[in-house]
């Protein structure tokens, strides 16, 4: 060992001097400030970087006046070093180091700062990785916000007995992880209620993800549901794609129009519910699943089971807590509150005259609340004054409306015949014109249905 290296104090002084010289020589700039954070020395390179003609013009100036965003004042204030930091400049960010300066008695007399320009290049991969991770985190947070529940129980407007019962059961279901099955016609607010259940559940801070079995082609539904492995099939994304199950992990998956789900996919969904695991399309890797299932349907699932279109075992898994979402015609006392809420949501200053409100109460509302919103929005767009009258609503309801058509009052026999005709026409439409299938749905014999069709003047489709 060299004799000079045995003297620790001397070696320490040599190391300090060497470290200072190496940093000062390799840095982009060096600046020294006094206890008041005024610049007492700056090298020429640093001065030119901040637009000064020479370093002498920086002497005596507050450090922030020359170096925007400088933290040298903080160092001379608390005496603590800032070993590595990022300083934004007009050209590019710098990695900087700031150290306090003490005299021989240990008194803080100033600070020195180095801009490690060369180190920025060596740290570039790390900085890029950090920036990339920040972008991914921001994107993930944005997606999560987009997948938060948009509605609460307060949005399910109404105080009728049917409405209160639906909300009561939904609130009971929100506190557990049990499957919920929402039953009701289209436009009654099933998805709104699903959002509200999630928002009131312990999973509210996680994602709420919905998938509509009727809106996605059968060939794509499995991939949409379970996701795809990289290169699972021609045209698949190279990195694979997350399915709705994965996006909803830890949160709630809302299965809208579950009655339209293909039988093959029903069996795979049953496995998710039973085993809490699944495989992405084109993958043999088993993924664990922690999602709360809320399903909804506008069709009669028991009738679908009877004709073999829906699995009984899946039905019983989903039907843990069934909730009937009432049609609008069964809760007409909620119409005033619903109209007020919808008009407020539309941001309009319109209100309904009493006669117009009474007119809405006589409408059949086959499209339920969705139709009510449509009618009110159309009325506000067409009306010339802020108070909507009967004429405004008749125009908004349209010529096909039972109210707008002003049909004559029917006697009992005529009303029965009209009702029976509508029932049969509807059953034939649902069966695609298949008379035997329509007869089974109506609980009639095939020959009986044919006779009724002839008597009512209904032609086979």
Q: Render pLDDT for 308-335 as a digit per residue (tens, 0 to 9).
A: 999 999 999 999 999 999 999 999 999 9
DSSP three-state, residue 352? strand
Q: At what angle do helices 390-397 and 368-382 cross, to 10 degrees?
A: 120
- CA angle (267 as vertex; 263, 270 as ends), nearest 5: 130
Q: Which of 273, 256, 266, 260 is nearest to 193 (CA)?
A: 256
Looking at per-residue confidence, does 180 or 6 come out higher?
Answer: 180
In whole angstroms, how large is the CA radius of gyration of the chain? 36
pLDDT value at residue 460: 65
- As a whole number, the mean pLDDT across the chain is 84
pLDDT tens-digit series, residues 409-449: 556 677 777 778 778 877 877 777 788 888 888 888 888 88
**Backbone phi, psi, residue 82, to 5°:** -120, 100
What is the per-residue pLDDT for 100?
A: 94
Q: By C-alpha distance, which of 164, 130, 173, 197 is closest to 337?
A: 164
Q: Which residue has the tokens 């409306």?
A: 401
Burial of residue 32 (CB within 10 Å: 0-12, 13-18, 19+) is: middle
Residue 132: is its pLDDT beyond 80?
A: no
pLDDT surpassing 60 at residue 232: no
Query: Residue 328 contacts by C-beta under 8 Å, 6 or more apart in sequence?
Result: 187, 188, 334, 335, 338, 365, 368, 369, 371, 372
pLDDT at 407: 45
Checking if the pLDDT of 283 tops 80, the result is yes
pLDDT in tens, 61-103: 999 999 988 999 999 999 999 988 878 777 777 888 899 999 8
CA angle in degrees (0–180, nearest 5) for 267-270-272: 120
Asked if 307 and 293 touch (Cβ cutoff 8 Å), the reply is: no
Q: Which residue has the higher pLDDT, 398 or 460?
A: 398
For residue 9, how many other CB atoms are within 10 A of its CB?
Answer: 7
Domains of the chain by start residue, with CATH: 3-121 (3.30.450.20), 153-324 (3.40.50.300), 328-397 (1.10.8.60), 412-456 (1.10.10)
**Listed residue (22, 113, 130) closest to 76, CA to CA:** 113
Can you say how many angstroms the Cα of residue 345 is from the centroid of all Cα atoms in its chain? 20
Q: How confident is the model at residue 200 (pLDDT cuts 50, 70, 90)?
A: very high
Q: Tell me the percentage of the chain whose pLDDT exceeds 70.
A: 85
Q: What is the mean pLDDT of residues 335-353?
A: 90
297 or 3: which leads in pLDDT = 297
How many of the other CB atoms lie within 10 Å of CB of 105? Answer: 6
What tokens appear for 399 in the block? Answer: 């010529």
d(CA 33, CA 52): 17
Whether the CB-CB separation of 151 and 199 falls below 8 Å is answered with yes
């Amino acid at each position: 060992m060299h004799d000079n290296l045995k003297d620790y104090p001397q070696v320490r002084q040599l190391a300090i001097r060497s470290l200072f010289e190496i940093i000062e020589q390799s840095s982009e700039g060096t600046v020294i400030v006094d206890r008041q954070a005024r610049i007492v020395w700056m090298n020429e390179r640093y001065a030119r970087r901040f637009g000064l003609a020479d370093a002498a013009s920086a002497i005596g100036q507050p450090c922030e006046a020359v170096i925007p965003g400088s933290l040298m004042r903080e160092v001379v204030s608390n005496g603590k070093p800032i070993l590595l930091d990022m300083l934004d400049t007009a050209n590019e960010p710098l990695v900087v180091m700031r150290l306090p300066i003490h005299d021989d008695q240990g008194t803080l007399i100033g600070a020195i700062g180095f801009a490690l320009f060369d180190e920025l290049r060596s740290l570039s991969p790390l900085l890029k990785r950090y920036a990339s991770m920040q972008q991914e985190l921001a994107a993930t947070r944005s997606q999560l916000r987009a997948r938060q529940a948009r509605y609460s129980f307060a949005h399910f407007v109404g105080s009728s007995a049917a409405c209160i019962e639906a909300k009561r059961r939904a609130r009971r279901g929100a506190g557990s992880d049990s499957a919920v099955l929402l039953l009701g016609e289209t436009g009654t607010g099933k998805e709104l209620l699903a959002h509200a259940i999630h928002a009131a559940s312990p999973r509210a801070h996680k994602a709420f993800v919905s998938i509509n079995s009727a809106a996605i082609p059968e060939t794509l539904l499995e991939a949409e549901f379970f996701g795809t492995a990289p290169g699972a099939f021609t045209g698949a994304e190279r990195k694979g794609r997350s399915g709705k199950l994965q996006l909803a992990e830890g949160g709630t998956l809302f299965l809208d129009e579950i009655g339209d789900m293909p039988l093959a996919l029903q069996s795979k969904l049953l496995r998710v519910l039973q085993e809490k695991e699944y495989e992405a399309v084109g993958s043999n890797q088993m993924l664990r699943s922690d999602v709360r299932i809320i399903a909804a349907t506008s069709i009669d699932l028991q009738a679908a089971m009877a004709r073999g279109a829906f699995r009984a075992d899946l039905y019983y898994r989903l039907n843990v807590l069934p909730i009937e979402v009432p049609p609008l015609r069964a809760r007409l006392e909620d119409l005033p509150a619903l109209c007020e809420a919808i008009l407020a949501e539309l941001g309009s200053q319109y209100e309904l005259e009493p006669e117009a409100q009474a007119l809405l109460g006589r409408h059949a509302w086959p499209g339920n609340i969705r139709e009510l919103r449509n009618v009110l929005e159309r009325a506000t767009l067409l009306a010339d004054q802020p108070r909507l009258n009967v004429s405004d609503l008749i125009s908004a309801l349209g010529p096909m409306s039972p109210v707008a058509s002003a049909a004559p009052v029917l006697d009992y026999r005529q009303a029965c015949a009209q009702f029976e005709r509508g029932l049969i026409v509807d059953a034939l439409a649902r069966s695609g014109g298949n008379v035997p299938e329509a007869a089974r749905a109506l609980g009639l014999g095939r020959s009986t249905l044919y006779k009724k069709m002839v008597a009512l003047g209904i032609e086979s489709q």
